[in-house]
Structure 1
Amino acid sequence: MPWPLPIIRQFAKIPVNPTEADFHGVYNKLLYTLFPADSAFTVAPQFMPASPESAECDFYFDVMHEDRIVFIVHLRSPGDIRYVSKRELADKQIRNRIRDLLDDCPIPVLHAISAIGTQLCFFTKRINERVNPLAIPPDNTYENDTAPRERWNYNVLEEAGVQKLRDVVEEIKEACAAL
């Protein structure tokens, strides 16, 4: 089932050469559709410094259930998908965010998404297990790709991406209902 027309309209308004900021509103609308404002869920935009020495900020949506983290969405510019270094940075940033917030998650699985434009990579972290997908260690001898483009294999506007996101949200809601 595709997204409701108001969400599709917001995605259609994104400019031809968008920045990450062009996606803030549409992902906000999408997340509030999935986690309604009149429920126990809160969608909280977060600006985090990219690094202590940088003026750049990373943008996340933290979804909370009764003030405890249950879902993370990290936004990146769509052009980042082309560059190994940008994908590696996106991968590292979402893994760090998962690690930072895991202790606050009240459900058995912390779900997260790295969104590079409309392309999504889904992450899960279960207690006492490693983050899935598993990290690819760097090999400086061969200059390997530690965050292959294929990991961002779902498009939020295509049926498979819509269904995957809906399945994750349903799993989160079921786990929260059991609290």
Structure 2
Amino acid sequence: MTPWSAKITKRFSTVPANARENDFYAMGHTINFCIPLPDYTVAPYTYSIIDSHDSVNFIIEFEVLLEDKSVLFLEIKEPAEITLKSAREEADSQMRKRMGDLAPICPLDTLNGVSAFGTQLSFYTYDKHTHILPARIPPHPKLETDTAPLNRWDCNILEDEGVQRFQDLVAEIKRECEQV
């Protein structure tokens, strides 16, 4: 495992204790650290959430493009919201919708996405031949169901396991892209 550069570590260390979503937008730089340019472009995107509970709400996403095709994307949410069942369910739903939008143009057999609540990560894969993982948890018709449990965001990008999982994912994507 290669640890994060001092620049990335320093950037994360400046995040305040009461961090907001935008304090983590520099995670796009973390992707740049892992994926050498000019082969890839890391592009930030914003789009509104039509069915959001809020009157004005936007999704901030970073897409990694090989030429003009998405091979990885990262969606960032406010860290404190990870404790809210509704926020996790909305993040899970947004990831699945976005995967459905991007998968048809992805040049790889598998599209990868990362959902982040601050530094807590959940990894998603969309295998064009099968399905999206982690598997969707369907709501029960009568009982309250947590369709996006807290333990789905099971690693921290600043801890060894999170660094390793993220770097392994990027290495696999780069290997697959070399075959395209």
TM-score w.r.t. length of structure 2? 0.95
Q: Does the Cα contact within 8 Å between 1:19 and 1:78 map onto a contact in 2?
A: yes
Amino acid at match of 1:34: C
Looking at structure 2, the residues matched to 173 and 29 of structure 1 have their Cα atoms a distance apart, in angstroms, of 17
Aligned residue pairs, count: 177
* Alpha-carbon distance in structure 1 between the residues aligned to 2:3 and 2:143: 42
Separation of aligned partners in 2, 1:161 and 1:101: 24
- 1:102 counterpart residue number: 103
For structure 2, the residue ranges without an aligned partner over 5 or more in a row are none
Distance 2:78 2:35 in 1: 24
Give yes or no for contact 1:2–1:157 (8 Å, CA) kept in 2: no
1:41 maps to a residue whose letter is: Y
Q: Deviations over 1:89-110 (max 9, x none)?
A: 0000011000011001001110
Q: CA deviation at 1:87?
A: 0.3
CA distance in structure 1 between the aligned counterparts of 2:168 and 2:5, rounded to whole angstroms: 17
Which consecutive segments of 4 or more residues in structure 1 shift more than 4 A?
none
User: When the two structures are superposed, what TM-score results if normalisation uses the length of structure 1?
Assistant: 0.95
Look up the equivalent residue of 2:179 and give its one-letter code: A
Alignment of 1:1-179 (within 5 A): 1-25=2-26, 27-37=27-37, 39-51=38-50, 54-179=55-180
Could you give the per-residue CA deviations for residues 29-64 of structure 1, whole angstroms, max 9, x where no partner exists? Answer: 101111233x21000101010116742101100110
Shift of 1:82: 0.4
* Aligned sequence identity (%): 37
8 Å contact from structure 1 (residues 87, 149) kept in 2: yes
**Which stretches in structure 1 are left out of the alignment for 5+ residues?**
none
